[in-house]
A and B are shown apart, each in its own frame.
Chain A
Amino acid sequence: MTPILEYKELKKYFTVGYRGLVKREPITVKAVDGVSFAIHKGEIFGLVGESGSGKSTVAYTTIGMYRPTSGVIEFHGESLFTKEGKRPRHIKKEIQIVFQDPGSSLNPRRSVKEILELPLSIHQPAKKHIGRVAELLEMVEMPVDYMYKYPHTLSGGEKQIVAIARALATEPSFVILDEPTSALDVSIQGKIINLLLRLRQEFHLSYLFITHDLSLMRNVASRVAIMYLGKICEVAEASEFFRSPKHPYTQMLLSSIPVVSEEEEALKPKRVQSRGEIPSPVDVPSGCSFHLRCPYKMDVCSIVDPQMTDTGDGHLVRCHLYPNHSGDYPGRKQNVI
Chain B
Amino acid sequence: MDTPPLLEVHDLRVHFKVFGGHLKVLDGVNMVVRAGEKVGLVGESGCGKTTTMKAILRILPEPPAEVVGGQVLFRGKDVLRMRPDELRQLRGRGISMIFQDPTAALNPVFTVGQQLGDVIRYSHGDGRVDARQIQSKALQALKGVALADPERLLHSYPIQLSGGMRQRVCIAMALATQPELLIADEPGTSLDVTIQDQILRLLHNLVVERNTSVILITHTLGVVREVTDRVYVMYAGSIVESAPTKALFANPMFPYTRGLMQSVPRLSGGGVAEGIPGRIPNYLNPPSGCRFHPRCPYAMEICQREKPPVFMVGEEHYVSCYLYAC
Contact = CB atoms under 8 A, between A and B. Distances in A.
A214 B196 CA distance: 14
A277 B77 CA distance: 43
A172 to B, nearest CB: 23
A258 B263 contact: no
Interface centre among B45, B219, B274 (most CB of A within 10 A): B274
Contact of B267 (A193, A218, A274, A277): A218
Contacts of A189: 263, 265, 272, 275
A322 to B, nearest CB: 21
B225 interface: yes
A194 B222 contact: no
Interface centre among B226, B266, B271 (most CB of A within 10 A): B266
Nearest to A293: B194
B265 A216 contact: yes
A261 B196 CA distance: 19
Given A187-B260, A187-B263, A277 B193 contact: no
A206 B241 CA distance: 42
- Main secondary structure, interface of B, reads loop
B114 to A, nearest CB: 23
Interface in B228-269: 249, 259-261, 263-269
A166 to B, nearest CB: 21
A219 interface: yes
A122 B265 CA distance: 38
Interface of B: 44-45, 162, 164-165, 192-198, 200, 219-223, 225-226, 249, 259-261, 263-277, 279
Interface of A: 50-51, 155, 157, 185-191, 193-194, 212-216, 218-220, 239, 242, 252-253, 255-261, 263-264, 267-268, 274-275, 277-278, 280
22 contacts: A155-B279, A186-B275, A187-B276, A188-B275, A189-B265, A189-B275, A190-B275, A193-B272, A213-B265, A215-B265, A218-B267, A219-B266, A219-B272, A256-B196, A258-B200, A258-B226, A260-B261, A260-B266, A264-B266, A274-B197, A277-B164, A278-B164
